[in-house]
C-alpha cells in the first residue's frame, strides 16, 4: 500500500505544471533531491537552481546519511518570499504569480472587465537613486559614463542619455512587474553570465577604445524557472572627432574655426561616439547557452513603443530557452561523467603502473639477495677450505695462518644468508 501511495504521489507531482514554494520545501525535507528531480523529469542540478531562485532552503550535503543513523538536523523554516519575488515554479516556462508586499498596499483600480490590477510604483525598485550614481560618474574619452558603483542596473549611456535610458528601463521593468515577473540585479555569486556589449551600430572589427563600463552583476528577469539578462545601452556611430580637454568631441559640434585638423597632413581622427539612441539587449545568462535579441531605436523613443512586443517575445521564448538550458545541463553532465570516467581510468592505470613497478623492484631486490647469498657461499667455502688446509701445517705456521684467517673473516663480516634474506622487503598482500 505504501509503494502504491508513493507511486500515486509521483504521478501527481510529475503532472503538475506549477509547483508552489511550500510544496517544494516539504518535498526537499522528505526525500533526496535526486528523487524529487526524477518525479518532475529534470536533473537534480537544474532543480537545485530552482530552489535557489525561489529562496527555498534544502538539506546540505550528507544530510540523508545523517538521517540514516538518526542524527538528522532540525530543518530550517521556509522564509517568506520578498515582495515581487516568484512564489511558485512553472515547469513549462509560463509566467507565475509573485509574492505580494507584506505591508498595506494601495487601493487597486478596476479594469473595464471588472478585474483588479495591481497599482505599480512610479519607479521600479532596481532604479531608485540611480541618477545620483550617474551624476557622480566619470566620463570616458568617448563620452560614455563610468559610475563608481558596480552593483546596479545594467545601463551604459552618455551623460546626455541618462534620462532617456532610465525612463525606458523604468517602463520596461514596470511592464514586466505588471505581468508578475521579477526584475533584479543578480545576487553575488549567482549563476549568471553577462553578455558583452558592442555599442557600435554597424558591426566592425576595429578595436574599441576605451572599454565600456560594466556592472559586477547582470540585470535579470525571471520568467518561470527561466532567467533572461537585460542590458540597455546607447548606440554609437563612427564619426570625425577632435581631442579636446582629454576627451573626444564631434567635429561637427565645434565652431568652424576649431574644426581644422591639428595634424600637418590634414588627417582627421575618428571615434565611436554615442548617438542618444538606445538598444535593448535581451540575452541568455546561462553558461554555454547562446541566445540574444537586440532592439535598436531608429529614433529616440522607439523602444518604449515596442515594450509589449518585447514582453511577448521573452514569454514566448522562455520554454525554448528552458529546453536549451536543460540540454546544455545534460551535455555538461555527460561531459563531467566522461571526465570522471577518464580520470578514474587514468588513476587505475597509474595504480597498475605503481603495482607493476613495486613487483619489479621487489623481484630485483630478491635477485640481489640471491646473488649475495651465492657470493657468501663462495666466500664461506673458501674459508672452510683454508681451515681444513691448516691442519696439515706445522704448529708455528698454523698459528700464523690462523691469525691471518681471523683477520680476513673480520674484514668480510657476517656471512649469514639468513641475515641477507631478512633485508628483502616482499610485496604486501
Reply yes or no on whether the pLDDT at 275 is more than 70.
yes
Label residue 256 by pLDDT band (50, 70, 90).
low
18, three cell numbers: 506549477
| Residue-level pLDDT at 7 | 43
Lowest mean pLDDT, pick from 96-110, 297-311, 373-387, 403-417: 96-110
* The C-alpha cell that represents 114 in the structure block: 471588472
Element (H, E) at 145: strand 145-146
Q: Which three cell numbers stand for residue 65?
A: 546519511
Q: SS3 letters for 274-340?
A: EEEEEEEEEECCCCCCCCEEEEECCCCCHHHHCHHHHHHHHHHHHHHHHHHHHHHHHHHHHHHHHHH
Say if CB 233 and CB 278 are below 8 A apart: yes
Report yes or no: 28 and 47 within 8 Å, Cβ to Cβ. Answer: no
Q: How high does pLDDT run on average in the chain?
A: 80
Alpha-carbon distance of 22 to 56, in angstroms, equals: 8
Secondary element (H or E) of residue 155? strand 155-156
Q: Name the burial class of residue 223, with classes exposed (0-12), middle (13-18) and buried (19+) by CB atoms within 10 angstroms of its CB.
A: buried
Give me the mean pLDDT over the 8-14 stretch: 46
Q: What residues contact residue 210 under an 8 Å CB cut-off, 6+ apart?
A: 140, 141, 142
Q: How many whole angstroms separate alpha carbon 194 and alpha carbon 212? A: 14
Pairing, β 155-156 against β 226-244: parallel
Q: At residue 111, what are phi and psi to the nearest 5 degrees?
A: -80, 175
Q: How would you classify residue 114: left for phi > 0, otherwise alpha for psi between -120 and 50, otherwise beta? A: left
Start-to-end CA distance of the chain, whole Å, equals: 50
Task: Among 76-80, 118-122, 170-174, name the most confident range.
Answer: 170-174
Q: What is the pLDDT of residues 187-219, one digit of tens each?
A: 766 678 898 899 988 877 777 777 888 898 899
Q: Tell me: the pLDDT tens digits for 39-58?
A: 887 887 788 888 887 888 88
* Cell 529616440 belongs to residue: 300
Judge whether residue 221 has pLDDT over 60: yes
What pTM, to 2 d.p., does this model score?
0.58
Amino acid at each position: 500500500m505504501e509503494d502504491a501511495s508513493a507511486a500515486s504521489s509521483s504521478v501527481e507531482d510529475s503532472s503538475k505544471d506549477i509547483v508552489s514554494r511550500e510544496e517544494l520545501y516539504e518535498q526537499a525535507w522528505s526525500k533526496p533531491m535526486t528523487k524529487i528531480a526524477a518525479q518532475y523529469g529534470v536533473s537534480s542540478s537544474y532543480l537545485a537552481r530552482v530552489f535557489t531562485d525561489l529562496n527555498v532552503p534544502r538539506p546540505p550535503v550528507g544530510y540523508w546519511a545523517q538521517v540514516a543513523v538518526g542524527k538528522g538536523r532540525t530543518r530550517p523554516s521556509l522564509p517568506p518570499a520578498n515582495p515581487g519575488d516568484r512564489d511558485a515554479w512553472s515547469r513549462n516556462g509560463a509566467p507565475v504569480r509573485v509574492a505580494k508586499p507584506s505591508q498595506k498596499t494601495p487601493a487597486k483600480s478596476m479594469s473595464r472587465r471588472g478585474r483588479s490590477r495591481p497599482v505599480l510604483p512610479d519607479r521600479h525598485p532596481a532604479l531608485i537613486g540611480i541618477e545620483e550614481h550617474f551624476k557622480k560618474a566619470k566620463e570616458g574619452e568617448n563620452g560614455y559614463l563610468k559610475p563608481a558603483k558596480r552593483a546596479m542596473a545594467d545601463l551604459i549611456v552618455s551623460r546626455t542619455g541618462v534620462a532617456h535610458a532610465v525612463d525606458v528601463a523604468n517602463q520596461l521593468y514596470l511592464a514586466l512587474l505588471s505581468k508578475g515577473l521579477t526584475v533584479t540585479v543578480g545576487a553575488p555569486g549567482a549563476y549568471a553570465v553577462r553578455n558583452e556589449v558592442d555599442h557600435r551600430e554597424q558591426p566592425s572589427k576595429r578595436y574599441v577604445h576605451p572599454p565600456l563600463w560594466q556592472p559586477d552583476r547582470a540585470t535579470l528577469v525571471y520568467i518561470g524557472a527561466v532567467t533572461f539578462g537585460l542590458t540597455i545601452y546607447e548606440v554609437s556611430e563612427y564619426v570625425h572627432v577632435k581631442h579636446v580637454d582629454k576627451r573626444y568631441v564631434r567635429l561637427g559640434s565645434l565652431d568652424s574655426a576649431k574644426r581644422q585638423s591639428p595634424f600637418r597632413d590634414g588627417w582627421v581622427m575618428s571615434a565611436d561616439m554615442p548617438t542618444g539612441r538606445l538598444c535593448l539587449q535581451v540575452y541568455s545568462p546561462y553558461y554555454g547557452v547562446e541566445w540574444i535579441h537586440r532592439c535598436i531605436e531608429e529614433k529616440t523613443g522607439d523602444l518604449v513603443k515596442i515594450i509589449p512586443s518585447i514582453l511577448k517575445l521573452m514569454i514566448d521564448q522562455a520554454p525554448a530557452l528552458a529546453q536549451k538550458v536543460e540540454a546544455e545541463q545534460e551535455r555538461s553532465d555527460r561531459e563531467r561523467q566522461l571526465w570522471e570516467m577518464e580520470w578514474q581510468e587514468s588513476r587505475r592505470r597509474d595504480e597498475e603502473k605503481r603495482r607493476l613497478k613495486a613487483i619489479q623492484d621487489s623481484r630485483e631486490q630478491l635477485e640481489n639477495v640471491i646473488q649475495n647469498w651465492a657470493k657468501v657461499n663462495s666466500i664461506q667455502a673458501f674459508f672452510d677450505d683454508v681451515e681444513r688446509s691448516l691442519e696439515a701445517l706445522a704448529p708455528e705456521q698454523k698459528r700464523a695462518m690462523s691469525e691471518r684467517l681471523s683477520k680476513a673473516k673480520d674484514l668480510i663480516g657476517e656471512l649469514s644468508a639468513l641475515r641477507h634474506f631478512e633485508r628483502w622487503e616482499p610485496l604486501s598482500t
